A and B are shown apart, each in its own frame.
Chain A
Amino acid sequence: MNLNFDEFQKANQTGGELDNIRIKNFDNFQKKGFPSKKEESWKYTDLKTMLYNNLSKLEVPNNKKTSQCHDEWLLKNFKHNQIILVNGEFVSSTFSFESKDKIKIKPLRVILKDKKNFNKIKELFDDQKNSLTSLNHALVRDGIFLEIEDNYSFNKPLVIYNFFNKSSENKIINNKCFISLGKNSKLDVLKCYKAENSIKYFNNTIHHYSIQENAILKQFSINNNLDNSYNYHLTNVKSHSNSIFENFLFSSGSSFLKNEIHCNLLGSYASCFVNGLILLNNEQHHELKTNVNHRYEHCKSSQLVKSVLLDKSSGTYQGKIYVEKEAQKTDGYQLSRALIFSENSTFNSKPELEIYADEVKCSHGSTTANIDQGSIFYLMSRGLSKKQANKMLIEGFLNEAVETITDINIKSLISKLLIKKINEIKFETNEH
């Protein structure tokens, strides 16, 4: 694998601080390489081997503009604002339903090139969670910069479309998405993913969300389209007092997807919800790692993850609630339930509580069970085929996660996408 950093570096020089940041971070990455099972938070995924086996010719994309997006991929019958990214590059944005003077939207590449603006996001480059974060800092070329003023509630959700076309084949795509939500403001973000013709690529994205006092940010990350991609999505959230962060994850489409969500509750009465579903078949492997940091009093966090594993797929949930000494009256909840349909599929769950305050209410739990043959017999004895019975049980099981969504339009959209997804599943391996 030759990432050709020098060439990239030459082509993307800004003459500013970023140049050195890139060099330093690429150095960091090279020292460690891609994560492997030796690292605690990667103990279920040997990304290094995975990439060498599947994307041995991985390279950094060149600067040639490759922006093409198919309209038929856009959501229909669902009023929304939109940002379109193609191969990780910012192509367009439309905020048809909003007061544009309340919103500052820029392609990240513009911010990266501009000294004054770059200072605003400079601290994002301090994050050194793992070698992929370093790699992202070194190779980031574009993404989203979005600032919303105080006291502005969006009228319609914002859909961020992530399209990948042939130009992404064998590429490593590094981008960042920065969203800052002012005091008392409100925004729903849906992230959708679609790749053309089952091309292979590696997408490494870092999201930074800053949620000011009393603001509400809801993020729905919908990875439902089957593709051959490998993805690492890191989300860092800073939640200030009284704010709400609601995250829903639909983790089902890509060959490999690891979502890592870090929520920092930085003011009292802040709350965060990380819920989602993982639905996998064939040889897919998806992971969700969460880390909720309670730093102040009276904060609340809740996580519900439901997973269904078919064929030879595997899934992982590593969830952590960390409660600092000062964070009294913390309310923390975490539950993972997985349903296994095949003896060749696995699910690993590692819920973790680390509590230093003494007056807290925290609970966690995790179950992994095989599909109940008795239930299938019961449904089939009422005329349903095995396939129908399986589908009904999967839908019923995962629906509990969908029910956590507080916005009814988005809930119904995601519910429809889930049913569509379940209908696409072939139940070959357990037909006998």
Chain B
Amino acid sequence: MLQITNLSASIDNKKILKGFNLKIKPGEIHAIMGPNGSGKSTLANVLTGKNGYQVEGQVLYQGKNLLKLPIEERAQKGLFMAFQYPLEIAGVNTNNFLKTSLNTVRKVRGLKELDSLDFLNLIKTKTKNLKIDEKILNRQLNVGFSGGEKKKNEILQMTILEPKLVILDETDSGLDIDAMKIVSEGVNSLRDKDRSFLIITHYQRLLDYIKPDFVHVLVDGKIAKTGCGELALELEKIGYGKMEAEG
């Protein structure tokens, strides 16, 4: 699904990722933990295609060179990132945005575009499952949404777009316990042998709900340690300090 080899990324001559390696197979769930500023969001941004980074190394996504693809093609080919800080976009109606996004992606994937009624039915089910107040659909995209509503809106987009590779960047941060459960259920409902997840989090609690196959610790731009689910528990106890010394 995804193979990252020796990935480096800098911005304004500041090196953030320093030889990052990771391989994710279809159906796997990988968690990435790591101290603030270690480069987790940078990794997510580089994979999603954000401009402004000088990038070196190789990233193969479904066997193709991901780094050469324009942002929208990555999304159309099934890459989805839930933003750590979803942007507020004034004037753009949430419902209209979701529909345009879905239909653009469907068109590229050779599926029939949904008309307003079909879309309404779809969105009704999805918002209900995620316990999202339907009223936010008629508001401007993320504008004035609470922190939790913004995160849920990211998950809503994920469930609608049905991506192949999902990157969740601290989606759990700022969620209350109930919301965390709902979001986890949303993720788990999408689990599939053909779909992979890369979950960036600071808290082991999320990983109680979404069981990862691997946990990686990112320190200073590269992976310092890889383990199974228990590694998260261990980190919870000892913190990153020791890891940094080792790395």
**A and B associate in one complex:** yes
Cβ 8 A contact of B92, one of A373, A374, A385, A392: A392
Cβ 8 A contact of A381, one of B49, B93, B100, B104: B49
Report Cα–Cα, A286/B48, bound state, in Å.
39
Cβ-defined contact, B91 with A388, below 8 A: no
Cβ 8 A contact of B93, one of A375, A379, A396: A396
Cβ 8 A contact of A383, one of B51, B83, B92, B104: B104
The 4 closest A-B CB pairs, nearest first, are A396-B91, A396-B92, A383-B75, A380-B71
Report Cα–Cα, A373/B50, bound state, in Å.
10
Q: Kindly state whether residue A342 has any CB partner on chain B within 8 Å.
A: no
Residues of B within 8 A of A397 (CB): 90-91
Cβ-defined contact, A378 with B100, below 8 A: no
List CB contacts (< 8 Å) of B79-93 with chain A.
80-81, 83, 86-87, 89-93
Residues of A within 8 A of B105 (CB): 382-383
Q: Kindly state whether residue A377 has any CB partner on chain B within 8 Å.
A: yes
Q: Kindly state whether residue B72 has any CB partner on chain A within 8 Å.
A: yes
Cβ-defined contact, B89 with A381, below 8 A: no
Q: Which of A381, A393, A398: most chain B CB closer than 10 A? A: A381
Cβ-defined contact, A378 with B86, below 8 A: yes
B28 to chain A, nearest CB (A): 22
Cβ-defined contact, B51 with A373, below 8 A: yes
Cβ-defined contact, B101 with A383, below 8 A: yes
Report Cα–Cα, A105/B91, bound state, in Å.
42
Report Cα–Cα, A386/B50, bound state, in Å.
12
Cβ-defined contact, B91 with A380, below 8 A: no
Please list 16 pairs of residues, one from A and one from B, whose beta carbons are closer than 8 Å in the complex, sorted by A's number: A373-B51, A377-B48, A377-B71, A378-B83, A379-B89, A380-B49, A382-B101, A382-B157, A383-B72, A386-B72, A392-B97, A392-B100, A393-B89, A393-B91, A396-B91, A396-B140
Residues of B within 8 A of A373 (CB): 51
List CB contacts (< 8 Å) of A413-429 with chain B.
none
Closest A residue to B90 using CB positions: A396
Residues of A within 8 A of B72 (CB): 380-381, 383-386
List CB contacts (< 8 Å) of A386-402 with chain B.
386, 388, 392-393, 395-400
Number of interface residues of A (CB under 8 A): 23
Closest B residue to A306 using CB positions: B91
Residues of A within 8 A of B100 (CB): 384, 388, 392
Closest A residue to B96 using CB positions: A392
Report Cα–Cα, A386/B73, bound state, in Å.
11
Residues of B within 8 A of A399 (CB): 91
Cβ-defined contact, B75 with A382, below 8 A: yes
Contact surface of B with A, Cβ cutoff 8 Å: 48-51, 70-72, 74-76, 80-81, 83, 86-87, 89-93, 97, 100-101, 104-105, 108, 140, 157, 161
Residues of A within 8 A of B83 (CB): 378
Closest B residue to A392 using CB positions: B92
Residues of B within 8 A of A396 (CB): 89-93, 140
Cβ-defined contact, B97 with A379, below 8 A: yes
B58 to chain A, nearest CB (A): 21
Using A381-B48, A383-B161 as known contacts, list a sample of 14 further A-B pairs with CB atoms less than 8 Å apart, ordered by residue number in A.
A374-B87, A377-B49, A377-B50, A377-B51, A381-B75, A382-B161, A383-B104, A385-B72, A392-B100, A396-B90, A396-B92, A397-B90, A397-B91, A400-B91
Report Cα–Cα, A350/B231, bound state, in Å.
61
Q: Which of A373, A383, A384: most chain B CB closer than 10 A? A: A383
Q: Which of A374, A375, A377: most chain B CB closer than 10 A? A: A377
Q: Which of A382, A385, A398, A399: most chain B CB closer than 10 A? A: A382
Closest A residue to B77 using CB positions: A383
Q: Which of B75, B89, B90, B100: most chain A CB closer than 10 A? A: B89
Report Cα–Cα, A372/B80, bound state, in Å.
21
Residues of A within 8 A of B48 (CB): 377, 381
Cβ-defined contact, A378 with B89, below 8 A: yes
Residues of B within 8 A of A395 (CB): 91-92
Report Cα–Cα, A386/B104, bound state, in Å.
12
Closest B residue to A373 using CB positions: B51
Closest A residue to B78 using CB positions: A383
Cβ-defined contact, A380 with B75, below 8 A: yes
Report Cα–Cα, A423/B93, bound state, in Å.
18
B122 to chain A, nearest CB (A): 16
Proximity bits, A360-378, B CB within 8 Å = 1, else 0: 0000000000001111011
Closest A residue to B45 using CB positions: A377
Residues of A within 8 A of B101 (CB): 379, 382-384
Report Cα–Cα, A377/B49, bound state, in Å.
8
B49 to chain A, nearest CB (A): 7
Report Cα–Cα, A398/B90, bound state, in Å.
11
Residues of B within 8 A of A398 (CB): 91
Residues of B within 8 A of A400 (CB): 91
Residues of A within 8 A of B97 (CB): 379, 382, 392
Cβ-defined contact, A388 with B104, below 8 A: yes
Residues of A within 8 A of B74 (CB): 381
Residues of A within 8 A of B104 (CB): 383-385, 388
Residues of A within 8 A of B89 (CB): 375, 378-379, 393, 396
Report Cα–Cα, A372/B97, bound state, in Å.
17
B108 to chain A, nearest CB (A): 7
A380 to chain B, nearest CB (A): 4
Residues of A within 8 A of B51 (CB): 373, 377
Residues of A within 8 A of B93 (CB): 396
A275 to chain B, nearest CB (A): 15
Residues of B within 8 A of A384 (CB): 72, 100-101, 104
B196 to chain A, nearest CB (A): 17
Residues of B within 8 A of A375 (CB): 87, 89
Residues of A within 8 A of B70 (CB): 380
Cβ-defined contact, A381 with B91, below 8 A: no
